[in-house]
Amino acid sequence: MPTELTDYDPTLGNKFIFVTGGVMSGLGKGITAASTGRLLANAGFDVTAVKIDPYLNVDAGTMNPYQHGEVYVLKDGGEVDLDLGNYERFLDIDMTFDHNVTTGKTYQHVIEKERAGDYLGKTVQIIPHVTDDIKRRVREAAAGHDVCIVEVGGTVGDIEGMPYLEALRQFSHEEDDDDILFTHVTLVPYSKNGEQKTKPTQHSVKELRSIGLQPDVLVGRCDDKLDVQTKEKIALFCDVPVDAVFSNPDVDDIYHVPLMVEEEGLDEYVMAELGLSERATPPAERTTEWREIVTREATDTVEIALVGKYALEDAYISIHESLKHAGFETRTDVEVLWVDSEEMDDAHAARLERADGVIVPGGFGSRGTQGKIDAIRYAREHDVPFLGLCLGFQMAVVEYARNVCGFEGAHSAEVDAETPHPVIDILPEQYEVEDMGGTMRLGAHETEITAGTVAHDVYGDTSCTERHRHRYEVNPEYIDAIEREGLVFSGRADNRMEILELPRSDHPFFFGTQFHPEFRSRPGRASPPFVALVEASLTRRGGDDDRRGGEGDRRRGEEEQGEVTA
């Protein structure tokens, strides 16, 4: 489990940027916050982030992906909201479970202290006990960093968010004025006559001010940049300088948002307000690596089939981003074709057959597993580059056991408790744990890689450290029989099989990982398995285009006519 919070040292002098959102959820305040952090990091500051999630869940581990997207796993095993993944990718940092504050976590801690008698008989209340715990968590997560960006999930006015906004109000009285900045992100829609409307922003700020918080910076989410007149009107009615109103228009790629808000001068304004300008690296000397990476022009295109059961991009957001990172590194435009593993009708099967590479992602439960097995078999038998992640790794073992090793009815015991061949099962020592949560393998663990294998070539080393989120493993009783038939377990952690592969002589790229390499991928530091998949897919596409005389152009034409992609 994640470690406990450490003691806060108030002498460190942190700067805090609190980011709230209004009008509606899903505006992109997390990307706005992450982009601000990226620009401050470019200016030489050590930046960290905290995500506040007002829901009663202790963590995101039990949430359905349709509710909040994927469950993102941190290095210490914390299961958190996907926004922390964006912070890790934008800031290129490794966060911990301490950087995610939830109502469940906070209330649980306060109630445990009450039960232990720590409050000495006092009446335990939202104010001051819950708000004090919130402030403590924020300060402890910020300790040791120059700037801490704190995103408050939800929208202003939500009843579950009120304790957090009250905590921020108190926070503003306890810190120096030049150590705190309040940024509010709102919607600026167009009316039918094409006018940018400021009333939603006005009402949102009015709601925020009624709680006792005055925003220092306003960021308008809009289709296009805010007109000068729009900025002036927002400034007048919301009581902020015109210079404090910024645009965050729609862009083709979220990684371009830092470039957009930099053009607006958001970073310089924030540094001036926080008294950081003199400490910042001069603009002419700041790193341009981010801009160079995310604006790198692609010279090739590949199509990767993502075979899953959640028809929602946020459910697999880290995979999408990892493919994008691999595209940056290989100068490739990676197009994702959604293949529904539960339906697998003619249209989805056609996308699978059209793809240059195949990914079968992780997941839990039985729904859609047969479609994943069928997709894996197709990739194996047709020499299509394949990457299996977690459950995808396990289903690759099942497929091989059934169709190559001859273990009829082989399956995962998680999916089919009556299978005659549980090639995926809980390890013997796990049966002794009564609490099933105790058997979950979470967080970063090291894998030993066999020299001379595809895995060794992919990682360039004889070990790797990646993040895990699973309970079931390859059954040790079947390992020798499976390897005799040609499948290689090239990465291991004691008796746990971590990486599988087929030799290059048998398949151009057939690779699976029990862990989730997508959680450590970054722009400029792409995940090795994803880079290897894209490279193998490029090779296949090049060969296919040569043989078919421009088939790639025909396929692109079909997509322009309305082929659905993820």
Residue 131 lies in a domain: yes
Please identify, among 273, 292, 311, the residue that sits at the C-terminal boundary of a domain.
292
Residue 538 lies in a domain: yes
Q: Check residue 429 and give its pLDDT.
A: 65
CA dist., res. 379 & res. 437, Å (int): 34
On whether both 476 and 541 belong to a single domain, the answer is yes
Please identify, among 262, 292, 322, the residue that sits at the C-terminal boundary of a domain.
292
The runs of H, that is alpha helices, within 406-515 are 454-459, 479-484
Q: Which residues are catalytic?
A: 390, 516, 518
Residue 566 lies in a domain: no
How many domains are there within the chain? 2
Residue 561 lies in a domain: no
Host domain of residue 500? 296-552
CATH number at residue 513: 3.40.50.880
> What does residue 59 show for φ and ψ, rounded to 5 degrees?
-145, 180
DSSP string, 183-222: EEEEE--B-TTSPBP-HHHHHHHHHHHHTT---SEEEEEE
Q: What is the three-class DSSP state of 130?
A: helix
CA dist., res. 456 & res. 436, Å (int): 34
Please identify, among 277, 292, 307, the residue that sits at the C-terminal boundary of a domain.
292
CATH number at residue 214: 3.40.50.300
Q: Which helix (H) or strand (E) holds 559?
A: helix 551-560
CA dist., res. 149 & res. 27, Å (int): 17
Residue 302 lies in a domain: yes
Within 8 A by CB and 6+ apart from 485, the residues are: 400, 404, 405
On whether both 380 and 523 belong to a single domain, the answer is yes
On whether both 325 and 473 belong to a single domain, the answer is yes
On whether both 19 and 76 belong to a single domain, the answer is yes
Q: Check residue 5 and give its pLDDT.
A: 41
Q: Are 231 and 266 in contact (CB under 8 A)?
A: no
On whether both 376 and 520 belong to a single domain, the answer is yes
On whether both 367 and 425 belong to a single domain, the answer is yes
On whether both 241 and 345 belong to a single domain, the answer is no
Q: Check residue 547 and give its pLDDT.
A: 37
Residue 463 lies in a domain: yes
Which is it for strands 473-474 and 47-53: parallel, antiparallel or unpaired?
unpaired
On whether both 339 and 232 belong to a single domain, the answer is no
Tokens (6 digits) for 22: 């209004």
Residue 563 lies in a domain: no
Residue 557 lies in a domain: no
On whether both 316 and 257 belong to a single domain, the answer is no
CA dist., res. 150 & res. 131, Å (int): 15
Total length of the chain:
566
On whether both 315 and 377 belong to a single domain, the answer is yes
On whether both 247 and 348 belong to a single domain, the answer is no
Q: Could you read off the pLDDT tens digit of each residue along the chain, which spans 566 residues?
A: 333 444 444 444 689 999 999 988 888 899 999 999 999 999 999 999 999 999 999 998 888 887 778 999 999 999 999 999 999 999 999 999 999 999 999 999 999 999 999 999 899 999 999 999 999 999 999 999 999 999 999 999 899 999 999 999 999 999 988 999 999 999 999 999 999 999 999 999 999 999 999 999 999 999 999 999 999 999 999 999 999 999 999 999 999 999 999 999 999 999 999 999 999 999 989 999 999 999 999 999 999 999 999 888 889 999 999 999 999 999 999 999 999 998 888 888 899 999 999 999 998 888 889 999 999 999 999 999 999 999 999 999 999 999 999 999 999 999 999 999 999 998 876 666 544 445 689 999 999 999 999 999 999 999 999 999 999 999 999 999 999 999 999 999 999 999 999 999 999 999 999 999 999 999 999 999 999 999 999 999 986 655 344 444 434 444 433 333 33
Q: Check residue 27 and give its pLDDT.
A: 87
Q: Check residue 364 and give its pLDDT.
A: 86
Tell me how far the alpha carbon of residue 321 is from its chain's centroid. 8
On whether both 278 and 305 belong to a single domain, the answer is no
Q: What is the three-class DSSP state of 379?
A: helix
Tokens (6 digits) for 147: 């700037």
